[in-house]
Structure 1
């Protein structure tokens, strides 16, 4: 009982944070492993919980009209393809080199967001063009692949991309990012399930706690916008940077 209480508490916090700024996996996955779960089972179990949390969050963003579907419907298929390719790819790159790239990228994102005071504070979206749709497709394919292959920080990268490329504010960017993240989660989850890498005894209560955390976090994100999302986004990006740095040594 104590084990499940610990896991569900971590799951609630992870989903709460993830629905606002991404990066919840840096809380839930270590918690599952700290409870004695093997890494591949922890990843699969977390993916089931995260998929339910992402669905609840996406649904709430949708009801609040914080998802720009004319763009998202173009990007969803490429996120799905990228995620499937990612989970099926045999790693041919040195994992430490990949972690170093992500380490640098997340630190730069956190620094840029901190320095640029008005970043994501206003919705200055100017419409869709062939150029920004093409850029979006490349990002959707790449981040879907990354999520299937490796994973940490995908939600944060998506939020940053939607602000940087399309000039959406933080809340709409979070809604768009969570929708694509849900798609990549489902693709990854299917592969974990096929390979019997999910502890359903733990995953089902974890999923319930993540739904509650996602609903709570999404409502706060929608209500408060950039003033809440931005500081949590910077904190998660820095936390991910520290985690990556620690894993290299």
Structure 2
């Protein structure tokens, strides 16, 4: 590990934390950077290190949002619990299934999400009609378990899927959806860390250094999102989803 490599990983973690804090998708930056910088390590080790680098930033962003945006903990806590279980099961299933087979499916879903959001300029700009508490809880548990499993199993676009589904199924706006997604993302990261730490597959020194940089990026991103509001988050969401689509399409054809 040269000084230049430490600096590169730190800068990458900062920008990953920034993106994650606004709309999710920091893995688009952080995971390829880890794989290209540390090719001598096993994929499981790099995925575990990525989660260490991400969870501190995700937690800080959740706290920042909670101070300024009303999070309905009556629904978010059950959703986070379901996401925790789903992510744990997803991480375990990697040993039995090849995650690569879901890549074309995820690419298709991301394209549909992007097209839907582009074609509806008012999508997520304002909260919709509130649902009954029991209905909202049931839906967020299903979303948390499903996307949590996906995050543990594969991962790219988790934050974007959470935000889109919270807007579409739970009638949130972009800002509240992003705030709620941070709590569920924290749960999925925690489950993954628990799994990878149990197998010894984490580079702790690198992960903790990147976590500090990710934290700085997350504080910057959440501050900007709170300052500029829903429309800023919506624009950033579309940028990140488009970048995810381009990256996954390249991975498939390359």
Q: Same fold (TM over 0.5)?
A: yes
Alignment of 1:54-133 (within 5 A): 54-90=58-94, 92-133=96-137
> Please, what TM-score do these two structures have when normalized by structure 2?
0.93
Which aligned runs of 4 or more in structure 1 are off by greater than 4 angstroms? 90-94
Unmatched 5+ stretches in structure 1: none
DSSP 3-state at the match of 2:248? helix
**Cα displacement (A) at 1:65:** 2.9
Alignment of 1:151-170 (within 5 A): 151-170=155-174
Q: Which residue of 2 aligns with 1:235?
A: 239
Equivalenced residue count is 249
Q: Is the 8 A contact 2:76 2:140 kept in 1?
A: no
Q: Report the Cα distance in structure 2 between the residues aligned to 1:156 and 1:127, rounded to whole angstroms.
A: 22
Q: Report the Cα distance in structure 2 between the residues aligned to 1:95 and 1:141, rounded to whole angstroms.
A: 17
Alignment of 1:180-219 (within 5 A): 180-219=184-223
> Please, what TM-score do these two structures have when normalized by structure 1?
0.95
Q: Which residue of 2 aligns with 1:36?
A: 38
Q: Is the 8 A contact 1:125 1:166 kept in 2?
A: no
Q: Is the 8 A contact 2:61 2:182 kept in 1?
A: yes
* Residue deviations 1:97-123 (CA, integer Å, cap 9, x gap): 300110000111111111100111112
Q: Which residue of 1 aligns with 2:53?
A: 49
1:207–1:168 distance in 2 versus 1, CA, 3 Å: same
Q: Is the 8 A contact 1:96 1:248 kept in 2?
A: no
Q: Which residue of 2 aligns with 1:21?
A: 23
RMSD: 1.5
1:44–1:96 distance in 2 versus 1, CA, 3 Å: closer
- Of the candidates 225, 230, 233, which is equivalent to residue 229 of structure 2? 225
